[in-house]
Amino acid sequence: MLHPPPDTAFREEMAEQLEAAENSLLALERCGLDHGRDAGRFCAGHVQELFRAFHTIKGLASMVGCKDVATLTHALESVLEPVRRETAAMTPELLALVLAARDLLAVTLQEAPTPELAEDMHDMARALEQLAPVPQSQPSPGTPQIPAMPTMPVMPRWRWQVCFAPTDPDLFTRVDVLELLQSLQDAGAQHLTPRPQGMDRLEWVDPAAPLLAWECEFDGPLDENGVRDLFIFVEDAATVTVRPLEAGSQAQDATPPGPPPDLPHAPIAPDEGQPPAGSQPFHKASTRPATGTGLRVDAHRLEAMVGLVGELVIAQSRLATISASLGHAGLQRVTEELEHLAASLRDQAMAMRMAPLGGAFGRFRRMVRDACQELGKDAVLVAHGGETALDKAMLEQLAEPLLHLLRNAVAHGLEAPAERRAAGKPSRGVITLTATQAAGTVTIALADDGRGLDREAIATRVQALGLARDPQALPDEALFDFLFHPGFMAASGASEAVPHDRGLETVRRVMDALRGQATLASRPGHGVTVQLRLPLTMAIIEGLQVRVGEERFIIPLAVVEECLELCRQGHGREQLLSLRGEIVPCVPLRGVFGVEGQAPGIEHVVVTLAGGQRTGLVVDEVLGQQQAVVKPLGVLFRHCAEFSGAAVQGDGGMALILDVPQVVQAGQHLWAGTAPSPS
């Protein structure tokens, strides 16, 4: 029967290793196609990474008593061992079966353990055992193979002495000690020896502390990180020390007897003496560097902390307002210091919320691979900008729209290999995913080199559905935007091979919820590009507060370049500003938002740079820089694309946060004397 893991730590680590295994498998599948005769040189590293991922999962599963997971990963190790040692080739059949086994392991992270799932895992283990790799010296006739790895030097061997000393008295209530020791022995541990710890003097003993540690030796291909990975699930509740052993030496020769690792114990009075002089705790001998260490934090706790930081920023803003009104020097100094601390805490909290987009690229490659196999197409996903970071909450919501767009690209954008060759294209299509960050926004572009959009067919369908009177007169961007309209894809008679008829509708819905934009561009015969533009974060931003009449607005500081004074010269709608030899168009916010009242004689211009366009926003007054906690807009403002949110002011009032590109677009309609199209 499948045993569930005791907490989320095992699940999180297993999910990471399964993702690494999937990436290695997809890379192995492409080796022969991408590198030809040199494929072996590129495959070698992927095979090692694949084996290491399953080996780590097996060790963790053995520790926590997930015997079915351990059995399946052991079978995976057995079938991959000949490939890793270069005595067999990775055939497509073997790769497909390993990928299916990986998917079955992933199911255990999503579903409750059942006898049926356990039986499926045992069946998969038996199937792996029956599919023995074909030796390179006797290949099966006509069997396609991923090219074998080149001959490599003999793998180095290391000898380590390891001391495992529990520090958490509750460790063995969630970990089976016998399973833990068995997993170490399976990994090659020798001379497992228990030894007492913290019992040198009775008065030092803490009854609640674990009083038994284990020592062992490793002699084989595992390096220090490989040894430490065996303890990764219990490293937060134990001290693990790894010492190199000289060739031919024994553990007792390398480490003289001494006191155990430091443990909590009762205070010792000064006259009772100290531990024996010259003794050193084991864990001082070899420790991992502090840099690069990580700590998993529950997502709900992180969200709660960010929410509290947001409330702190609001309280600090109110305090600054009160301090300015009182004019007390001491209070102002404290307020400035609090502002600095709140800003630092905000930056740290925001950094904790950020995650690189590259972590999702492996999942996208797998989706493209599976869709191509199902639809008889050939495509590769090329990703750039994986280091671009986005708010974790936004990244999770963005995964579904991106998967929909990738399915559309494979199912409808890319032609079949024969059709591509007839059009003079390579038989393999290319889907490019690019992520960039600039001016407080993240732009994700997904482009394919397929057939492109059929403008005539789209215009005909728009006409038939009554969505526009004269769709042929619309520019491409406006016409293609109807593809996001609810029900449009279902009405288009899309192929039922992939269930994604409401894919673009889902993209628009999610982008609206994230205060983002989605646009389509296409060239016939050259493919389609979908661009998603999102704010960097949805929680807290640094902004510049401005006033227009009695209304206050916040401009994201990331797009602000400078502020200038502007003397009024006439009452024309459009104003131009000469800025160091460059003509910069200006958008009067008073006109865009219909603010009543007379503008002052001297206005201010906030020069912004967004989307590669420099524009001046004309306001009555610049009030100063402010940290803004972004609050979502209600239904009253859901059709106002010029606003990306609202922020609570120090006096309790609200200020709207401007979406600068949308404001500029509204200003262009104002200059032309037309109303902006509803968003």
pLDDT, tens digit, for every residue of 645-666?
788 776 667 888 888 888 888 8
Greater confidence (566 vs 330) lies with 330
Each residue's pLDDT tens digit, 158-169: 888 999 888 877
- Confidence bin at 605 (pLDDT 50/70/90): very high
Smallest Cα–Cα separation from 91: which of 141, 38, 45, 165? 141
pLDDT at 140 over 50: no
Measured CA distances, 505 to 218, 322, 371, 484, 485 (Å): 57, 47, 20, 5, 6
Least confident segment among 42-56, 227-241, 361-375, 391-405: 227-241
Nearest residue to 447 (alpha-carbon basis) of 508, 341, 564, 531 = 531
The b-or-e profile of 32-56 (16+ CB within 10 A means b, else e) is beeeeeebbebbbebbbbbbbbbbb
pLDDT top residue among 294 and 122: 122
Across the chain, mean pLDDT equals 76
Mean pLDDT of 462-478: 86
Question: In the prediction, which pLDDT does 568 show?
Answer: 59
CB atoms under 10 Å from CB of 620, counted, come to 21
For residues 652 and 635, the answer to whether their CB atoms sit within 8 Å is no
Report the SS3 class of residue 633: coil
pTM comes to: 0.58
CB atoms within 10 A of CB 499: 10
Residue 102 CB burial class (10 angstroms; 0-12, 13-18, ≥19): buried
CA 671/CA 591 separation, integer angstroms: 10
| Rounded Cα distance, 28 and 150, in Å | 14
Q: Report which secondary-structure segment, H or E, holds 432.
A: strand 429-438
pLDDT higher than threshold 50 for residue 269: no
Whether residue 493 is predicted with pLDDT greater than 80 in this model: the reply is no
Residue 140 DSSP code: P
pLDDT at 270 exceeding the cut of 50: no
Q: Note the Cα 473 to chain centre separation in Å.
A: 42
Per-residue pLDDT, 294: 56
Three-state DSSP state, 615: strand
Give the pLDDT confidence score for residue 201 in this predicted structure.
59
Rounded distance, CA 20 to CA 52, Å? 9
- Contact present, 395 and 53 (Cβ < 8 Å): no
pLDDT score at 447:
94
Check residue 522 and give its pLDDT. Answer: 92
Bridging pattern class, strands 643-648 and 540-548 = unpaired
Alpha helices, DSSP H, located in 376-448: 392-408, 417-422
- CB of 508 closer than 8 Å to CB of 368: no
| Tens-place pLDDT, residues 545-562 | 999 998 999 998 878 889
CATH for 8-130? Answer: 1.20.120.160
CA-based end-to-end distance of the chain: 55
Are 354 and 437 within 8 A, CB to CB? no
Cα separation, 643 vs 637, in Å, equals 8
Residue 539 is predicted with a pLDDT of 67
**452 or 232, greater pLDDT:** 452
pLDDT in tens, 106-120: 888 887 778 888 888
Q: Between residues 553 and 258, which one has the greater pLDDT?
A: 553
Cβ atoms 316, 510 nearer than 8 A? no
Tokens 């991992």 belong to 288
Confidence at 6, pLDDT banded by 50, 70, 90: very low
Q: What is the pLDDT of residues 417-459, one digit of tens each?
A: 999 999 999 999 999 999 988 766 788 999 999 999 989 888 9
Other beta carbons within 10 Å of 255: 17
Position 207 scores a pLDDT of 64
**Residue 130 and residue 97 in contact, taking contact as beta carbons nearer than 8 Å:** no
DSSP state letter for 88: B
Tell me: pLDDT of 405 over 70: yes
Which of 70-79, 164-173, 232-241, 266-275 has maximum average pLDDT?
70-79
Question: Residue for token digits 């200038």?
Answer: 564
- pLDDT digit string, tens, across residues 202-215: 665 666 666 678 88
Residue 677 pLDDT greater than 50, yes or no = no
| Percent of residues, the chain, with pLDDT higher than 70 | 74
Q: How far apart are CA 154 and CA 156, in angstroms?
A: 6
pLDDT-derived band of residue 596, with 50, 70 and 90 as boundaries?
A: confident
Give me the helices (H) in 423-502, please. 455-465, 476-480, 488-491
Angle at 80 between CA 79 and CA 83, to 5 degrees: 115
Residues 595/599/603/608 CA torsion (nearest 10 deg): 20
Residue 299: both structure tokens together: 């997502």
Q: How many residues does the chain have?
A: 679
Confidence band for 678, pLDDT divided at 50, 70 and 90: very low
Res. 572: pLDDT tops 60: no
* CA 497/CA 213 separation, integer angstroms: 58
- Model confidence band, residue 8 (pLDDT cutoffs 50, 70, 90): low
Integer Cα distance of 263 and 166 in angstroms: 9
Distance CA 196, CA 205 (A): 11
Alpha carbon of 364 to those of 340, 355, 495: distances in Å? 41, 16, 21
Mean pLDDT calculated for residue range 397-402: 86
Pairing of strands 582-588, 613-619: parallel
Whether residue 574 is predicted with pLDDT greater than 80 in this model: the reply is: no
Give the DSSP per-residue string, 534-548.
EES-SSEEEEEEEEE
Handedness of CA 657, 659, 664, 665 (dihedral sign): negative
Enumerate the H helices of 475-578 as residue ranges: 476-480, 488-491, 503-513
Question: From CA 473, how far away is CA 456, in angstroms rounded?
Answer: 11
Question: Could you say which DSSP state residue 559 is in?
Answer: G
How confident is the model at residue 102, as a pLDDT? 92
Looking at CATH, the fold of the domain delimited by 540-672 is given as: SH3 type barrels. (2.30.30)
- Rounded to whole angstroms, how far apart are CA atoms 267 and 245? 36
Query: Hey, what are 191's tokens?
Result: 């001379």
For the record, the structure tokens of 182 come out as 């068995």
Q: Give the per-residue pLDDT at 51.
A: 87
pLDDT at 277 over 50: no
pLDDT at 620: 92
pLDDT on residue 295: 62
Q: Could you tell me the residue ranges of all domains in the chain?
A: 8-130, 153-249, 300-354, 356-535, 540-672
For residue 618, list its beta bridge partners.
Answer: 588, 605
CATH superfamily of 153-249: ACT domain (3.30.70.260)
Q: Does the 356-535 domain belong in CATH 3.30.565.10?
A: yes
240-244, 381-385, 440-444, 626-630: the lowest-pLDDT one? 626-630
Amino acid at position 613, single letter: Q
* Number of other CB atoms surrounding residue 216 within 10 Å: 21
Classify the phi-psi angles of 17: left when phi > 0, otherwise alpha if psi is within -120 to 50, otherwise beta: alpha
Instruction: Choose the most confident range, by mean pLDDT, from 100-109, 123-132, 292-301.
Output: 100-109
Mean pLDDT of 587-612: 86
- Measure the CA–CA gap between 461 and 310, rounded to whole angstroms: 47
Highest mean pLDDT among 175-189, 405-419, 468-482 belongs to 405-419
555's CB contacts (< 8 A; 6+ apart) are: 543, 544, 546, 606, 608, 617, 658, 660
> What whole-number distance in Å separates Cα of residue 391 and Cα of residue 540?
11
**pLDDT range class, residue 638, cuts 50, 70, 90:** low
Query: Higher confidence at residue 491 or residue 108?
Result: 108
